[in-house]
Chain A
């Protein structure tokens, strides 16, 4: 086994020496940590069964998507802390059943997010540590310091309510990136930008430096451009610096290893130069997700079940939030529907012959809401569903999936349903797959 030689390289001493400077610079960058609700919470919050947790009790942080197990709605992110970013081990997370994922300003599934994407996160403690699909950490873990990584790189709040990429975050929060300056050499370089409210007076926000390179994509209207085209049009310099006059844009942010001992500097994978290009990206993602939910059915949880005779029952359920409105519009009073039992991973029970095989058939006798602003995670839409054959799994507090008539009747891939349920690991995935560093 090799032994550590911490000062074999002279640059290492410089890195250590610059720790204080970098930490100060990073703390001044426009991160959500200093601005968003949920940031300043004193105590970690554990969601309760049957209730959508309050957003202001969530811990807000950012992380680079490093690993995805989409079938079990979990993965890992590398979280920027106070120290050397590259050293931060991927931190496992699980999506809450009602979690909202957004990509390019539109609803998404975990499988839609490219590895490497920097995401904004709102997380809580595991609702039930005994069945957590990811490692359970001490509740104060976010305050612990981990070597050169610093504090905050492994929060116990690893059950997520919201996972969204940079454009989604900015669109939701009414923010915009303003380009101040670009410096290019050999088709790569640095750009300086600040994240500011789209409306209202321009704040004196500190600029954040990002890298870009010849793989960065620039979107303008219908066009997909490369750095060469921006140079050819004279918009960006082939070499040297150019002021960009606070040009408003959207950024897609990733991370790449950074030279010069920089602790944390993110990379721009995409720049949307106008609203049209961003809207087109959002439309494409929306259509992807609509087709996905129509084939997998709408997730919801059961608020109550009124049992009748001979297997009859009336089920009240709340549809989960964050979907395209057109999906909710398909839930209409008097329409027929089917409800199937599901797990916290949103996997269907049964499924060898499709989720409809074991599902309860019936009619939507009532569709109400939303009234007011529902909590994040909820659509605020409640349905009442009457069936003549209630199946196991449709019980108060349990997660179900609902298909209104008109959605395609398809069978799902093997990893997205439970099967006969004989292996408890199918229902409760163990956290053992995550490596320990």
Chain B
């Protein structure tokens, strides 16, 4: 249908006129665009095999999680650009094998993040375009205007992600806090104005952001989870009208909902944490979720080297990937029995119909060393030496493996999380074909 009735196009004219105004404002908003490491990476960076990529070469952006294929550690984000947010096609991304996900200030898997959550991203070009599980884009894609009022930056070629974190995780990592200025309520929904700034004070260019909330927004206070009715009943927030909130410090959970009045980009508050206790409690639940997850799926690592012995014996040196709860790393101790299984870049186990332990190499940890590592390096800084009497295929330098110290549970992961015996090439290297092609918004 290409019928354009004049009366229906008034909105379009207004929208077009707004393009001159809104990009300037969006650029001033307290996104990470002008503040974080990796932002000013002039040249796109392609990670090299066997090396954790330098963080200052990462491209930083934000996007709404729209699609998740957690078994293959990939998905899509609607990336915030300078134009009309809603028109932006979801941009596929893949987690690097050592890519980290954080939710509520704790380690997470992609499956833990609710669809709709706005995520902060640090990403690189595909390490190997030939085996990329998501579409490979021109290296300068982030600089190309996507047209149709979408602007630049919404399809970055840097779609292989080192860090994917929600707003509370982002703020906690960078020592930021949101300060609430005003709230305006009408019929159980409304808007807040707030500023993201350093917790310890001193923001050279504080910028006020307006966000929506509604009757489904959750307010967390200590043990309590409250709703808007509870806040209005207490007199904390007004039933109707505007109220100054005196720069109250909070953390925000941010999503996106369709916005009236032709606003280009306005985010929505799904959760609001009033105090440290409440966000710590949320972080604790998430940390426990992820600990149980990693214990059952094993610790991912990559092989630094293999020293082959006789009759199948070998000593494998491997570096554990980063971003996990400390208690998980603490289980890797010298002389502890362990298992090591081959895995793919998706972190899927090889074999698996009888559990990953069936085909894994058995052995023991003959050495565990720890070097200082930045949270965002991708590595944990922990290197282990593992001696086995039956080295298996897949444990080779540069390859991804998964390790299980003896005290972790011996369980069988579900079917989509292992390759099986009769895997196809596509099981190892998922094709990007599941993602719909990009298209004009018309």
Contact = CB atoms under 8 A, between A and B. Distances in A.
- State whether these chains interact: yes
Nearest to B228: A287
B358 A87 contact: no
Contacts of B411: 256-259
B258 A358 contact: no
A176 interface: no
B285 A433 contact: no
Interface in B49-98: 66-71, 78, 86-90
Nearest to B256: A413
Contacts of A205: none
Interface in A215-245: 215, 217, 222-226, 229
Contacts of B427: 435
Nearest to A109: B115
A413 B415 contact: no
Interface string B224-236: 1111001000000
B194 to A, nearest CB: 21
A421 B440 CA distance: 11
A8 B421 CA distance: 14
Interface residues of B, number: 81
A9 B68 contact: no
B8 interface: yes
Contacts of A420: 1-2, 440, 442
A12 B358 CA distance: 9
Nearest to B84: A411
Contacts of A435: 416, 426-427, 430
A21 interface: no
A40 interface: no
Given A215-B288, A226-B284, A420-B442, A1 B422 contact: yes
Interface string A186-217: 00100000000000000000000000011101
B435 to A, nearest CB: 9
B181 interface: no
Interface string B415-442: 1100011110011001001101001111
A284 B260 CA distance: 22
A415 interface: yes
Given A1-B422, A256-B296, A354-B11, A215 B285 contact: yes
Contacts of A409: 260
A47 interface: no
B115 A410 contact: no
Given A89-B415, A358-B3, A423 B357 contact: no
A48 interface: no
B226 A222 contact: yes
B441 A419 contact: yes
Nearest to A3: B421
Contacts of B434: 432-433
A66 B67 CA distance: 13
Interface string B353-396: 11101110000000000000000000000000000000001000
Interface in B267-288: 281, 284-286, 288
Contacts of A256: 292, 296, 411
A88 interface: yes
Contacts of A223: 223-225
A392 B410 contact: no
A4 B9 CA distance: 64
Given A1-B421, A89-B415, A115-B68, A284 B218 contact: yes
Given A2-B359, A291-B214, A415 B3 contact: no
Contacts of B111: 115-116
B258 A413 contact: yes
Interface stretch (A67-75, A127-135, A377-385, A396-404): A67-75
Contact of B223 (A224, A408, A433): A224
A180 interface: no
Given A287-B215, A295-B257, A358-B3, A415 B66 contact: yes
Best-buried of A66, A88, A423 by chain B (most CB within 10 Å): A66
A89 B71 CA distance: 12
B78 A413 contact: yes
Contact of A87 (B66, B68, B415): B415
Given A115-B111, A215-B292, A222-B224, A411 B414 contact: no
A52 interface: no
Interface in A368-393: 392
Contacts of A12: 354, 358
A168 to B, nearest CB: 17
A283 B350 CA distance: 44
A429 to B, nearest CB: 9
A411 B285 contact: no
B216 interface: yes
A410 B116 contact: no
A307 interface: no
B36 interface: no
B353 A4 contact: yes
Nearest to A349: B1
B10 to A, nearest CB: 10
B259 interface: yes
Contacts of A9: 354-355, 357-358
Nearest to B70: A115
Contacts of B413: 86, 257
A281 to B, nearest CB: 9
A194 B220 CA distance: 32
Contacts of A285: 216
Contacts of B393: 2
Given A291-B214, A423-B439, 19 more contacts: A1-B423, A4-B421, A12-B358, A67-B71, A68-B68, A71-B67, A78-B415, A215-B289, A222-B226, A223-B225, A226-B281, A257-B414, A280-B227, A353-B9, A411-B258, A414-B78, A419-B442, A420-B1, A437-B416
For the complex of A and B, 6 pairs with smallest distance between CB atoms: A257-B411, A410-B258, A287-B216, A215-B288, A287-B215, A214-B288
Interface of B: 1-3, 8-9, 11-12, 66-71, 78, 86-90, 111, 114-116, 148, 188-189, 214-216, 218, 220, 223-227, 230, 257-260, 281, 284-286, 288-289, 291-292, 296, 350-351, 353-355, 357-359, 393, 409-416, 420-423, 426-427, 430, 433-434, 436, 439-442
9 contacts: A4-B421, A5-B358, A214-B288, A222-B230, A257-B296, A291-B214, A358-B3, A413-B66, A432-B434
